[in-house]
Structure 1
């Protein structure tokens, strides 16, 4: 039997099992760009492999969602008034604004964040309008009879689409700003006394002043979202649905929350039955390197190599920063593979090779890799944890500061300031994580935690998506907190009632005692008279 025949037979067996179990279905996806898509794409490929039909909604200016590069996934493209170049420019400006804002004091940083999120929200609303107000597209989606919708909560619209199409939906996300949506629509308890608010740059062990900062960040994000974002989305969703509705009402209907982290990266916190952690679902064993790259790695001898990458959204940097970095790398005895797309630095050493793209996972899994210099993106952090490689963190924006703060607190990384670090700072940080055995030991501990799970993260994510499809939702996992007002959730009505009962009882007892006392006094007076 030929290889082609074997492949066809396996596919038929897979599909027959799928049909027998009744689990094959149609999946609609509202995605995000860059690393969010890279992560979600892994889930979608696995769903396709299991026989499901996956249709991804793609705007005409999408950067990463290229139909020609995906054979199993289908794409439904809707037009928007922008080009791919416009979108790339927007994201680059978004990254630069955030990176620059993080160098300011907190009093300057928070207003800058507000501006960043406002522009981002405008973009999300524009994309959502282009989709849900497209009658031809919506009619086609209605006719398709989807079984589930998968959406990234960072880009609002999936919950509105699910309501319009009357289908259950699943969130795939790392976080929402300040955990606001998780708290107010998921019924999730996140006590600021010991749960660091995302974007606060704090760890799980907080001093008193850090807890003050954490509380202020929580209040800030809650207030900002309610004032600037919630009302606009309430109005927009109500107009589209033709009835009064709140944004949180729609979000609260999420059947499942798949969080792209785990207890190797996160600090323990309360969870709910429909919240599952699937961090590192994209991680996989290392594959062989291209021959020229393998030769370079092998030429490092016993010293090994350092992998340097600042992710997909940072392809170049200023000449000054590039020369600071190159000068530090040139002083290492290790060979260095640096993902860099820009003018070749004058201080670049013979031990350093620059590449426009590197097979990051395969390099991190190579036995000669000694350290990883990273911006702290969740995908890269998890690949380092998966393969047990200590890190030097140069966080730039978004959750990267939190990720590196967590890795530093867990003893698996050294953190540097991207804007102010010198060549000596970077050199000393690399020497520390390479030569101090505690960094390697700590990251290997995290790696063992990552691998010691009853199900692989990808299998867990796909299981819960299929669970929602099989049961047409997951209302059996929905906590009653969704149906309570804020004062009911905190039992303020019950506390008020009990206090009132105590007050009334106390009042009655005192009145009775006073009445009895007065009668006794009158009786004594009559006797004495």
Structure 2
């Protein structure tokens, strides 16, 4: 191509670029108030904040003084720190250890009830602490004035805890939710029609294909969610609503009033279900292409040769499995031709083989994207499951608590993973499971199919998330996408009043002929009696 042709081509591209600029949605750097949830939830929120910061938005993060993960100082944001007293980390540690012990020893029904009670009590305590934090904000007039004067464009919050939702209401700001979990259960159940006949309740361990008894179980688990909201979580928020909001409110209605739900799921991962127009699915938005590994780790991975590598981690909340389980897993790894990278912070297993590298931290995303990695042994956290889908790596799952079994079940149903319950983990079951996922090609093929489906989107999940945050800024909310159905009384929502009216009308229509016939019959009978009496009178 000649120089003249090249200049003309460049000129044409420049002209087209100038023509397209007016049609590109634009949002000047906004001012966003962020109320995140700590722990693994913060990992998701931070990734979104990094992207928003890179696009020129100003971020303010409200955090607890006892935060595990959220630093007070960051190049991404300025922070407002609340004095929250004791940390929830110790409560979580005690619960997690009790949960693992119960699974290992074989949980009875009474043990299940105790663990459920402990879990609900822990959640109720966490909500109560954050409600106190919300009161701390509102009672600090200087802080409220500062928040008002900052002229935020919106509140971005994770509604697993409710104070961010309350704060958006108090400051009268548009609300965007970075969500999968709400104050009680999974977000869809308060937003979209959720028939329990085919939509499994989290914790039930069910799929979208249920038998009669499974539907009974699903209904019972839904009852637990309603109990949690009504008696454990709701009262804490009701007290704040009554104290600070004229006319009162409730946390569920405030959630339903949110402008946009950025939902950390998609229908490659989840079962199909009804949804709403203000739900934007951003499942896997945290996933990125793998970056090069550190030199020593790359050398270890490459040394595996054609056998490949197995990686294992149980997430950020669990540092180590019980020693007897760790020893049995290590002995299985030691017999395998693959190399193993295992995030494990507990006592070093006595049966550890030379092919296994123990690490305190691993670049999980970069390892999953490495062509040498063959299997991911994981606990089933949402981030890990979505990253394994993104990179097409089959999973051997050992669920421990929370939503992990349900997450892994979705992979199992699609033939992309296998589950071993913690109570069933021993040398034999683990060896059988890891070899099945390694050597049956269907697991990798099915996971790679999920990966292709996930990647085949018109817009990347992260770009969707940022677009809709900026959309709310540009339009001062998104009320036109929000249903008003939640403001209806329950009897109107389910058309009970209409059904009663129709039933009454049909009943009247059916009874009217009967009433007329009875009336005519009674009148005829009366006439006969009257005639008889007249006849007798004449005869006398």
Shared fold by TM > 0.5?
yes
Per-residue CA shift, 1:305-331, capped at 9, x if unaligned?
Answer: 001111111112332222111111111
In the other structure, the counterpart of 2:222 is 218
Instruction: Determine which of 146, 155, 161 is the counterpart of 2:161.
Output: 155
Q: Name structure 1 gaps, 5 residues minimum.
A: 1-12
TM-score by length of 1: 0.90
Post-superposition offset of 1:247? 2.4
- In structure 2, C-alpha distance between the alignment counterparts of 1:64 and 1:415, rounded to whole Å: 29
Instruction: Determine which of 120, 123, 130 is the counterpart of 1:120.
Output: 123
Call closer, same or farther: CA 1:293–1:20 in 2, change over 3 Å. Answer: closer
Coordinate RMSD, CA, aligned? 2.5
Call closer, same or farther: CA 1:18–1:226 in 2, change over 3 Å. Answer: farther
Instruction: Determine which of 184, 201, 204 is the counterpart of 1:200.
Output: 204
- In structure 1, C-alpha distance between the alignment counterparts of 2:184 and 2:172, rounded to whole Å: 29
Post-superposition offset of 1:458? 1.0
Post-superposition offset of 1:117? 2.3
Post-superposition offset of 1:385? 0.5
In the other structure, the counterpart of 2:254 is 250
Call closer, same or farther: CA 1:25–1:509 in 2, change over 3 Å. Answer: farther
- In structure 2, C-alpha distance between the alignment counterparts of 1:348 and 1:255, rounded to whole Å: 52
Call closer, same or farther: CA 1:97–1:258 in 2, change over 3 Å. Answer: farther
Between 1:90-99 and 1:449-458, the stretch displaced more is: 90-99
Residue 130 of structure 2 contacts residue 161 of structure 2 at CA under 8 Å; is this kept in 1?
no
Per-residue CA shift, 1:322-369, capped at 9, x if unaligned?
Answer: 211111111111000111112221100011001100100110100111
Q: How does 1:202-351 map to 2 (within 5 A)?
A: 202-241=206-245, 243-351=247-355
In the other structure, the counterpart of 2:390 is 386
In the other structure, the counterpart of 1:92 is 93
> Secondary structure of the residue that 1:294 maps to in structure 2?
helix
- In structure 2, C-alpha distance between the alignment counterparts of 1:216 and 1:81, rounded to whole Å: 36
Between 1:279-288 and 1:461-470, the stretch displaced more is: 461-470
- Higher Cα Rg: structure 1 or 2? 2
In the other structure, the counterpart of 1:51 is 56
Between 1:208-217 and 1:92-101, the stretch displaced more is: 92-101
Between 1:25-34 and 1:92-101, the stretch displaced more is: 92-101
List 4+ stretches of structure 1 deviating above 6 A.
Answer: 16-20, 520-529
In the other structure, the counterpart of 1:31 is 36
Per-residue CA shift, 1:201-224, capped at 9, x if unaligned?
Answer: 122222222222111111222123
Per-residue CA shift, 1:368-401, capped at 9, x if unaligned?
Answer: 1110000000101111100100110011111111
Post-superposition offset of 1:173? 1.9
- In structure 1, C-alpha distance between the alignment counterparts of 2:25 and 2:453, rounded to whole Å: 36
Q: How does 1:478-497 map to 2 (within 5 A)?
A: 478-497=482-501
Residue 168 of structure 2 contacts residue 175 of structure 2 at CA under 8 Å; is this kept in 1?
yes
- In structure 2, C-alpha distance between the alignment counterparts of 1:20 and 1:392, rounded to whole Å: 43
> Secondary structure of the residue that 2:193 maps to in structure 1?
coil
Residue 48 of structure 1 contacts residue 72 of structure 1 at CA under 8 Å; is this kept in 2?
yes
Call closer, same or farther: CA 1:456–1:21 in 2, change over 3 Å. Answer: closer
Residue 184 of structure 2 contacts residue 233 of structure 2 at CA under 8 Å; is this kept in 1?
no
Per-residue CA shift, 1:268-327, capped at 9, x if unaligned?
Answer: 111011122211100010011001000000000100000111111111233222211111
- In structure 2, C-alpha distance between the alignment counterparts of 1:226 and 1:81, rounded to whole Å: 26
Call closer, same or farther: CA 1:191–1:214 in 2, change over 3 Å. Answer: same
Instruction: Determine which of 399, 405, 411 is the counterpart of 1:401.
Output: 405
- In structure 2, C-alpha distance between the alignment counterparts of 1:126 and 1:183, rounded to whole Å: 25
Post-superposition offset of 1:66? 1.4
Call closer, same or farther: CA 1:40–1:137 in 2, change over 3 Å. Answer: same
Post-superposition offset of 1:265? 1.4
Call closer, same or farther: CA 1:405–1:75 in 2, change over 3 Å. Answer: same
- In structure 2, C-alpha distance between the alignment counterparts of 1:262 and 1:39, rounded to whole Å: 15
Is residue 2:427 matched to residue 1:423?
yes
Is residue 2:369 matched to residue 1:369?
no
Post-superposition offset of 1:18? 13
Per-residue CA shift, 1:60-80, capped at 9, x if unaligned?
Answer: 111111144x31222222222
Post-superposition offset of 1:264? 1.7
In the other structure, the counterpart of 1:174 is 180
- In structure 2, C-alpha distance between the alignment counterparts of 1:173 and 1:121, rounded to whole Å: 19
Post-superposition offset of 1:450? 0.8
Per-residue CA shift, 1:224-271, capped at 9, x if unaligned?
Answer: 321222233212321233543222232222112222111121111110
Residue 391 of structure 1 contacts residue 414 of structure 1 at CA under 8 Å; is this kept in 2?
yes
- In structure 2, C-alpha distance between the alignment counterparts of 1:463 and 1:109, rounded to whole Å: 43
Per-residue CA shift, 1:9-63, capped at 9, x if unaligned?
Answer: xxxx9xx999993453211111112221111111111111122111110111111
TM-score by length of 2: 0.88
Call closer, same or farther: CA 1:163–1:505 in 2, change over 3 Å. Answer: same
